[in-house]
């Protein structure tokens, strides 16, 4: 299925599925039966989010945010823009924001600041992949899927210039 020259599977789909189950169990403990607003950060988190919410119990509400900082590059521009804002009222709610990757932390810092201004009762961050060694600003990740030390990742929702999101595994992209 993959071009072996450029794509190397680093997290196979079976491992992802197992980890999603574990994360869902941790989220259930944290939420203590409260209604939960789960927010998907588009586009990268869309597959992870879909798998995760289907493991969570009711009552659950889904919302979507879109954040952009990369353009078609493999390095962040540092300029974080929210290109889709939230319509839901979060005040007094228990909120889980679901992101694909926390890299420099700049995107998540902006998103968490934006969501905090909406006065949720509790706000937790779930990220599929933590590139903690690349952090430029501190971001508390409450539920992290995998620690990845290096490489530009694609698949399972993650893209390079909008490509490869549909791959079922997380792969490292080897560019010339
Ligand atoms: P940060 O603001 O530097 O933390 O960047 C976070 C965002 O950059 C994530 O939401 C991803 O969308 C994107 N990103 C960071 N690293 C990668 C990667 O390896 N592959 C694909 N997207 C990435
Ligand atoms: Mg993202």
Give the ligand 1 atom nearest the CA of 103: 4
Query: Ligand 1: residues whose CB is within 6 Å?
Result: 44, 69-70, 76, 99-108, 152-153, 158
Give the ligand 1 atom nearest the CA of 107: 2
Tokens for 134, please give them.
């690349």
Q: What is the per-residue pLDDT across 65-82, written as a single tens digit (0 to 9) for each? A: 998 775 555 666 667 778
Better pLDDT: 4 or 126 = 126
Residue 51 is among the residues annotated as catalytic for this protein: no
Arithmetic mean of pLDDT, 43-56: 98
Neighbours of ion ligand 2 (CB under 5 A): 44, 100
Check the CA dihedral 114-125-38-47 and report its sign.
positive
Strands (E) located in 103-148: 122-130, 143-147
Q: Considering the chain, what is the average pLDDT of its residues?
A: 92
Task: Please report the pLDDT score of residue 77 as a whole number.
Answer: 64
The answer to whether 135 and 126 are in contact (CB under 8 A) is: no
Q: What is the per-residue pLDDT across 110-122, written as a single tens digit (0 to 9) for each? A: 999 999 999 999 9
């Amino acid at each position: 299925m993959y071009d072996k020259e450029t794509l190397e599977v680093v997290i196979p789909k079976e491992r992802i599925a197992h980890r999603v189950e574990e994360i869902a169990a941790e989220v259930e403990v944290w939420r203590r039966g409260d209604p939960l607003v789960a927010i998907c950060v588009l586009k990268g988190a869309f597959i992870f989010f879909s798998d995760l919410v289907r493991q969570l119990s009711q009552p659950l509400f889904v919302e979507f945010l879109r954040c952009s900082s990369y353009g078609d590059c493999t390095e962040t521009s540092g300029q974080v823009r929210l290109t889709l804002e939230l319509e839901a009222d979060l005040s007094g709610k228990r909120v889980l924001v679901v992101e694909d990757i926390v890299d420099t932390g700049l995107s998540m810092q902006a998103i968490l600041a934006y969501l905090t201004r909406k006065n949720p009762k509790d706000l937790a961050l779930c990220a599929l992949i933590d590139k903690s060694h690349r952090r430029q600003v501190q971001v508390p990740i409450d539920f992290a899927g995998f620690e990845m030390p290096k490489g530009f990742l694609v698949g399972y929702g993650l893209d390079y210039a909008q490509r490869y999101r549909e791959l079922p595994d997380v792969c490292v992209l080897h560019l010339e």
